[in-house]
A and B are shown apart, each in its own frame.
Chain A
């Protein structure tokens, strides 16, 4: 069994592809530095991430698959799923070896699998856009905590910057502990110190909120209750569309 050891970055993965073609040997598995080697490991190769090598692979791929397929590779990388690196590696290898683009061959298990992962990530991105709820704070910043299953915050920025261009906002990924702050010019990545983090919770403390904020939350809750038709109540459908894991952060689902 041949194992490639790399640094778990996307550039590292592309460099691994370069090395594999260079050595004419292809890995059975990819692991991060410091991870425990699998059993029956006969040979290891340590990939040293190299800008030049990775960009050569990237430019090579540009000749083989379309721009949208390329961007879907980077999107799938954000899924952080175990084994996504090997899947991407196999996909890239197939793309390079095939005489024409493989991106529409959904009969191929790797292509289909990657398409499904892309779909899942995109759905998660949409859910974040749908279900994030801003709370206006005393310093006029609209704050929204989220907790997506995939690392999709960077993918939502394009939409949010366009939609909320006229207000300062901050979205924060509570699980990965980073977020983006938009100051009406550009969105910058931010991280809170340990001390400040205690201030952050699903629903902010009343002291931190703008004076009208509670009224609007109350109005929205009232509206949410009134708009449902009692004769048609359907909890199963409700949960299917509005997954329970988002309820913690939804204003209308607070008691």
Chain B
């Protein structure tokens, strides 16, 4: 290990940072004698970068040389950026030494495509195999599966990695072909299918033999770029919802498009990455995964895009006032989840607490319900407050998006200076 690694680390981290995923959850492994580390199923973030994103894994590329020329990617062939390649031993050393100092939970390894997808994939597999078998590393490993790599290599990677992922990047195939001429949906979805087959097969085997090896126990994830193409939120969320139907898909990440190659006129020129839209998509994603919403309830042909002013759940509630108000003391859990201002935690607390007695608005507030929103959508055993039925959805919307005017104290003397 020497100072020359410092420069490589800088270059390769810069290249890897546009991958969003940094989750370290989904696998629990306790340590064994002679091995290094463990994995915590709940995931630990060891630091947060200045953009507020979690740093749980050493997110790095093996090399940022790439033979592809994808318009949205910083590492495309035609970009003039510093290129570097880490050797296997350097990468292994970095991972283990960082891990021992409690900097990271494990490794997130990806790579630019060199020579061929299989050649690149083979080198990635060699690194994680080395970590697991030679250095007995027990921490979390997330590995990118290279689009277009063969099933044998994906199968081998699944033996050592906790999570495998393939990025879709662009939610429809025609746009993908325009922006990334070397890729197509086939090359993305076939590794996804291999991962799924591997996981399901290993589950089946573990049912028969308790010590059969685990295959990518934390499943797979993927990522889509938001705002690089004209796709609506409906297209994006329909695709995510279809992906979540598959048994091993754990997370779909959305990444607000950052124009890293501003000279390419196939891409829109944005001043700011579309952060609000990205946030709304994540909220909608949560509704799909934890709030038992169907995708057509959130976005459909009449409302193809998410409302940027209000969150998707509130937006659904305002469009469907016939379901409200909900009686907190009687409604079932599924209905409580649909009330704006009540999350999974408060819904669960309400369901357990109301067995002991009826709940009032004061208790709801203490439990953690956001009464500012929820008050228009609920009744409890107290005298009714004005709900959405009396106020009409439009008025509720106005009340909720109104920004409080800045308070001015009229007794305060204001001095006006001449320029």
Answer yes or no: A165 CB below 8 A from chain B CBs: yes
Q: Please, which residue of chain B has its CB at the minimum distance from the CB of A232?
A: B51
A214 and B42 CA atoms in complex are apart in Å by: 31
Q: Which residues of A contact B59 (CB under 8 A)?
A: 227
Answer yes or no: A173 CB below 8 A from chain B CBs: no
Q: Are the C-beta atoms of A106 and B367 separated by less than 8 Å?
A: yes
A158 to chain B, nearest CB (A): 10
Q: Which residues of A contact B34 (CB under 8 A)?
A: 166
Q: Are the C-beta atoms of A107 and B363 separated by less than 8 Å?
A: yes
Q: Are the C-beta atoms of A163 and B52 separated by less than 8 Å?
A: no
A255 to chain B, nearest CB (A): 15
Contact A227 B17, CB 8 Å, known A130-B45, A159-B40? yes
Most interface-central of B37, B50, B59 (chain A CB within 10 A): B50
Q: Which residues of B contact A131 (CB under 8 A)?
A: 46-47
A168 to chain B, nearest CB (A): 11
Contact of B100 among A142, A227, A231 (CB under 8 A): A142
Query: Looking at the complex, which of B148-156, B239-247, B300-308, B349-357 is the stretch in contact with chain A?
Result: B349-357
Answer yes or no: A54 CB below 8 A from chain B CBs: no
Q: Which residues of B contact A229 (CB under 8 A)?
A: 17-18, 49, 51, 53, 258
A75 to chain B, nearest CB (A): 17
Answer yes or no: A22 CB below 8 A from chain B CBs: no
Q: Which residues of A contact B335 (CB under 8 A)?
A: none
Contact A232 B356, CB 8 Å, known A130-B45, A134-B102, A215-B1? no
Q: Are the C-beta atoms of A251 and B103 separated by less than 8 Å?
A: yes
A230 to chain B, nearest CB (A): 8
Q: Which residues of A contact B101 (CB under 8 A)?
A: 133-136, 142, 216, 220, 251
Q: Which residues of B contact A228 (CB under 8 A)?
A: 17, 49-51, 53
Answer yes or no: A37 CB below 8 A from chain B CBs: no
Task: List residues of B (1-57) whose CB comes within 8 Å of A's CBs.
Answer: 1-3, 5-6, 9-10, 13-14, 16-18, 30-31, 33-38, 40, 44-55
Q: Are the C-beta atoms of B52 and A238 separated by less than 8 Å?
A: yes
Q: Are the C-beta atoms of A112 and B49 separated by less than 8 Å?
A: no
A164 and B101 CA atoms in complex are apart in Å by: 9
Q: Are the C-beta atoms of A105 and B55 separated by less than 8 Å?
A: no
Contact A241 B55, CB 8 Å, known A159-B40, A219-B9? no
Q: Which residues of B contact A129 (CB under 8 A)?
A: 44
A240 and B38 CA atoms in complex are apart in Å by: 27
A45 and B210 CA atoms in complex are apart in Å by: 60
Q: Please, which residue of chain B has its CB at the minimum distance from the CB of A132?
A: B102
Answer yes or no: A108 CB below 8 A from chain B CBs: yes
Q: Are the C-beta atoms of A107 and B359 separated by less than 8 Å?
A: yes
Contact of B50 among A216, A233, A251 (CB under 8 A): A233
Answer yes or no: A104 CB below 8 A from chain B CBs: yes
Answer yes or no: A35 CB below 8 A from chain B CBs: no
A214 and B4 CA atoms in complex are apart in Å by: 14
Answer yes or no: A218 CB below 8 A from chain B CBs: yes
Q: Which residues of B contact A235 (CB under 8 A)?
A: 50
Q: Which residues of B contact A237 (CB under 8 A)?
A: 48, 51-52
Q: Are the C-beta atoms of A162 and B3 separated by less than 8 Å?
A: no
A85 to chain B, nearest CB (A): 22
* Interface mask (A108-139 → B, CB under 8 Å = 1, otherwise 0): 11001000000000000010011111111000
Number of interface residues of B (CB under 8 A): 58
B276 to chain A, nearest CB (A): 13
Task: List residues of A (4-39) whose CB comes within 8 Å of B's CBs.
Answer: none
Contact of B273 among A142, A216, A231 (CB under 8 A): A231
B315 to chain A, nearest CB (A): 24
Answer yes or no: B81 CB below 8 A from chain A CBs: no
Answer yes or no: A234 CB below 8 A from chain B CBs: yes
A91 and B356 CA atoms in complex are apart in Å by: 16
Number of interface residues of A (CB under 8 A): 53
Answer yes or no: B331 CB below 8 A from chain A CBs: no
Q: Are the C-beta atoms of A226 and B14 separated by less than 8 Å?
A: yes
B137 to chain A, nearest CB (A): 11
Answer yes or no: B79 CB below 8 A from chain A CBs: no
Q: Which residues of B contact A134 (CB under 8 A)?
A: 100-102
A167 to chain B, nearest CB (A): 6
Q: Please, which residue of chain A has its CB at the minimum distance from the CB of B7?
A: A222
Answer yes or no: A67 CB below 8 A from chain B CBs: no
Q: Please, which residue of chain A has its CB at the minimum distance from the CB of B47?
A: A252
Q: Are the C-beta atoms of A109 and B9 separated by less than 8 Å?
A: no
B209 to chain A, nearest CB (A): 26
Q: Which residues of A contact B359 (CB under 8 A)?
A: 107
Most interface-central of B3, B54, B359, B366 (chain A CB within 10 A): B366
Most interface-central of A164, A212, A224, A232 (chain B CB within 10 A): A232
Q: Please, which residue of chain A has its CB at the minimum distance from the CB of B33?
A: A165
Q: Which residues of A contact B272 (CB under 8 A)?
A: 231
Q: Are the C-beta atoms of B38 and A167 separated by less than 8 Å?
A: no
Q: Which residues of B contact A126 (CB under 8 A)?
A: 44
Q: Which residues of B contact A105 (CB under 8 A)?
A: 352-353, 355-357
Contact of B48 among A136, A232, A241 (CB under 8 A): A241
Q: Are the C-beta atoms of B48 and A238 separated by less than 8 Å?
A: yes
A80 to chain B, nearest CB (A): 23
User: Can you show 15 pairs from A to B with CB atoms below 8 A apart?
Assistant: A105-B353, A107-B354, A162-B38, A164-B100, A165-B31, A165-B33, A166-B35, A166-B36, A215-B3, A219-B6, A223-B13, A226-B9, A226-B10, A229-B258, A238-B49
| Contacts beyond the supplied A104-B356, A107-B356, A222-B6: 12 A-B pairs with Cβ under 8 Å | A104-B352, A131-B46, A131-B47, A142-B101, A163-B37, A163-B38, A164-B37, A165-B31, A166-B34, A228-B17, A229-B18, A232-B258
Q: State the B residues within 8 Å of A (CB).
A: 1-3, 5-6, 9-10, 13-14, 16-18, 30-31, 33-38, 40, 44-55, 58-59, 94, 97-98, 100-103, 256, 258, 272-273, 275, 349, 352-357, 359, 363, 366-367
Closest 9 CB pairs of A and B: A237-B52, A226-B13, A232-B51, A228-B49, A105-B356, A241-B48, A106-B353, A104-B352, A228-B50
